[in-house]
Amino acid sequence: MTREHALSHLYVDIGICTFRRPELEATLLSLFQLVVPAGVRLRLIVADNDATPSAFELFERLRPQSPFEMSYLHCPRSNISIARNACLNASDGDYLAFIDDDETASPEWLAELLATAEATTADAVLGPVRAIYAEDAPAWMRNGDFHSTRPVWVGSSIRTGYTCNTLLDMRSPQVRGRRFALTLGQSGGEDTNFFTHVTDSGGHIAFAERAWLSEPVPAHRARFGWLMKRRFRSGQTHGRILAARHGVAGRGRQFAIAASKAAYCGLAALFSLLSPEARNRHLLRGALHVGAMTGIIGVREIRQYGSVEVA
């Protein structure tokens, strides 16, 4: 069976959740250039998470240029889960893809996600995100490529995922009816939580290594402190998931494991003082484990999105 035949008569939606980002224009313009397999109907859904419909003017200005159907949703406010759930609720497609409002797509991005989904029958497919660094970004950050995104493999499987480059099979029992947690919509981690529940319920996540997106790293993110906060928050989400799976004794064991890993990372960083890239990698990994420790004992996740992110 040819790829064109396998992908024929599919309805696909692409959700773009946005919050006061002018980069949305570049995102949409890149999507207008997508090479869509024959027989695939494509629709772009812009979910505006601002209190006022601030993205509507840009949406209306670009809509005449779009070769695809476009829909605008105003879903306030400052809670990314609200916007993601609005896309899930509005989608009537066989698949729903997500791309962030500061990313741009390669022309073959969607075709690669769809080809992997059809070949693997996965419930969700992840693609890689290539970080684009400014010339003045720290050398250790560029050399270590600390901002690019790829899935984390545990053995031969992917147990959780992210929404910055993903395709969901809306026909899957593990996806259909599932929603992003509103309680995590400002701290972040709503995607980790979502995909963890997909795999815990028996779902399968695949990886499309050629489904590339690109994301510029703005100056306020090209800092060690921003990465530390991001890793710590990711650890908090992981710790909260672990806590939900275990009783008191199990949580104690998980806390001890996370503490030992954090201590190891601290020692590794100490022995890597002369190598900024290795030192910072160990410190960031340690921040993840410290975050997991706080998540296991129930410390509330730090707020990352909304007004804080805009600032």
pLDDT at 271: 96
pLDDT at 188: 80
Q: Which residues contact 297 (CB under 8 A, 6 or more apart)?
A: 239, 243, 251, 255
pLDDT at 189: 86
C-alpha distances (whole Å) from 245 to each of 23, 59, 248, 291, 301 are 39, 43, 10, 17, 18
The distance between the two most distant Cα atoms of the chain, rounded to a whole number of Å, is: 60
pLDDT at 307: 42
Tokens of 91: 């989608």
Pairing of β 95-99 and β 165-169: antiparallel
pLDDT at 2: 44
Q: Which residues contact 78 (CB under 8 A, 6 or more apart)?
A: 19, 49, 50, 51, 186, 305, 306, 307
* C-alpha closest to that of 202 among 173, 177, 230, 179: 173
pLDDT at 303: 58
Alpha helices in 145-223 (DSSP H): 190-200
pLDDT at 301: 66
One digit per residue, the tens of pLDDT, for the chain of length 311 reads 444 445 668 999 999 999 999 999 999 999 999 999 999 999 999 999 999 999 999 999 999 999 999 999 999 978 999 999 999 999 999 999 999 999 999 999 999 999 999 999 999 999 999 999 999 999 999 999 999 999 999 999 999 999 999 999 999 999 999 999 998 888 788 999 999 999 999 999 999 999 999 999 999 999 999 999 999 999 999 999 999 899 999 999 999 999 999 999 999 999 999 999 999 999 999 999 999 999 999 887 665 555 433 32
